[in-house]
Amino acid sequence: MAEVEDNFCEIDGSILEGGGQILRISVALSALTGRSLHISKIRAGRQKPGLSNQHMQGIELVGRICRGQLTGCSIRSEEIRLTPGVITAGEYTGDSITAGSISLLAQVALPCALFAGGPTTLRLLGGTNVDFSPPIDYIQKVLLPTLKLFGVDADLTVVRRGYNPKGGGEILLKIQPLEHLKPVSLMERGDVIGLHIYSYVAGTLSESISQDSARVAEDAVKKALPGVQLKVSKTARKESAADAVGNGSGIFMWAETDKSRVLAGSAVGSKLTDAVKAAAMLGEHLKTGAAVDEHLQDQVYDHPPKSSAFCLWLVYNRLNSLRLFYCS
């Protein structure tokens, strides 16, 4: 549960799934609202409770961006305190050290950087395409284009990809300051006008794996959507040593509609069943007719309870009030 006073919020980190998402949302909102934060029982239900290095790096990154006072932020710590200061533009680096997800570092820092007084550049290091987190391609191809509809101006460049277990990936996320968000309706998906497939391997893996995966994924999507005419573009490649660290493979596929909606499916791995899995994920998203896929919905903040509406972002204005922008 959460207890909120005028300028202080107490969060029980074990509620719901008790994972890292409640941590990221709480820390970002603390920086945005200026409310001091205490989170206890962090990841209490997990096999290894407390902060992992990835969580610690994300919290410290936000702490630097908002010039906050942070205590308790160490490996395996089960509670932290953050007293935020002023969100400040600049150049910041977040390094998950090993193959911790770069996408999750971006997820916690992006909403804060949007409300800095000037342009901000995030240099984020770690894993770009790893299990149990959005691939960096999802941030680039789905999340950022959707946020652009709301007036967000952010550009992501993949400098180098990194995979389990070495990591070593790097991205640059350049974010322009934002004074307010545009209200947008995401009620209609529109017709699918294009299907894009990016299949990749790196290291000692054969390029033929990426080619076979792209072919299997295309066939699987077409089989899942009989009668739908799809304009397909495919890229199957082997990443060079300069473009990726270590061995890695996977597939990312996304569909675009005439209403500027983007839905995706992905999988990490070199087996053809992984390609089928990614295709099935995208196919299920498209069959629903929904304007966003389940992963984009998972990256927004639910509000209010017992309502079908959800808020993409909570915007803190100069009067210390929260403006809610609904998208369905």
CA–CA distance, 245 with 203 (Å, rounded to integer): 7
Are the C-beta atoms of residues 263 and 142 closer than 8 Å to each other? yes
Q: Supply the pTM of this predicted model.
A: 0.87
Q: How far apart are the first and last CA of the chain?
A: 26
Tokens of 27: 């820390």
Q: Supply φ then ψ for residue 166, to 5 degrees.
A: -80, -30
Exposed (0-12), middle (13-18) or buried (19+): which is 297, by Cβ within 10 Å? middle
Q: Which of 260, 310, 25, 28 is nearest to 148 (CA)?
A: 260
Q: Give how far Cα 301 sits from Cα of 112, 173, 297, 298, Å.
A: 15, 22, 8, 8
Kindly provide the b/e burial profile for residues 141-168, where b requires at least 16 CB atoms within 10 angstroms of the residue's own CB. Answer: bbbbebbebbbbebebebebbbbbeebb
Predicted local confidence at residue 118, as pLDDT: 97
Are the C-beta atoms of residues 135 and 250 closer than 8 Å to each other? yes
Are the C-beta atoms of residues 80 and 39 closer than 8 Å to each other? yes
Query: If DSSP codes are grouped into helix, strand and coil, which group holds residue 264?
Result: strand
Tokens of 220: 């699987």
Q: ∠ CA 68-70-75 to the nearest 5 degrees?
A: 140
Are the C-beta atoms of residues 94 and 105 closer than 8 Å to each other? yes
**Which long-range contacts does 279-283 make (Cβ < 8 Å, 24+ apart)?**
279/216, 279/217, 279/218, 279/220, 279/221, 279/224, 279/253, 280/220, 280/224, 282/221, 282/253, 282/254, 282/255, 283/220, 283/221, 283/224, 283/225
DSSP lists the bridge partners of residue 202 as 239, 248
Predicted local confidence at residue 202, as pLDDT: 95
- CA torsion 48-64-319-155 (nearest 10°) is -90
- Residuewise pLDDT in 10s, the chain (328 residues): 455 556 888 999 888 777 888 899 899 989 988 999 999 999 988 888 999 888 999 999 999 999 999 999 999 999 999 999 999 999 999 998 888 999 999 999 999 999 999 999 999 999 999 998 999 999 999 999 988 988 899 999 999 999 998 899 999 999 999 877 788 788 889 999 899 999 999 999 999 999 999 999 999 988 888 877 788 999 999 999 999 998 999 999 999 999 989 999 999 998 999 999 999 999 999 888 888 888 887 665 433 332 322 343 333 333 233 333 333 3
Residue by residue, DSSP assigns 178-222 as -S-PPP--------EEEEEEEEEEETTS-HHHHHHHHHHHHHHHH
Q: Supply φ then ψ for residue 251, to 5 degrees.
A: -145, 140
Q: What is the DSSP letter of 41?
A: S
Predicted local confidence at residue 326, as pLDDT: 35
Residue 81: how many other CB atoms lie within 10 Å: 16
* Dihedral of alpha carbons 288, 223, 252, 178, sign: negative
Residue 64: how many other CB atoms lie within 10 Å: 17
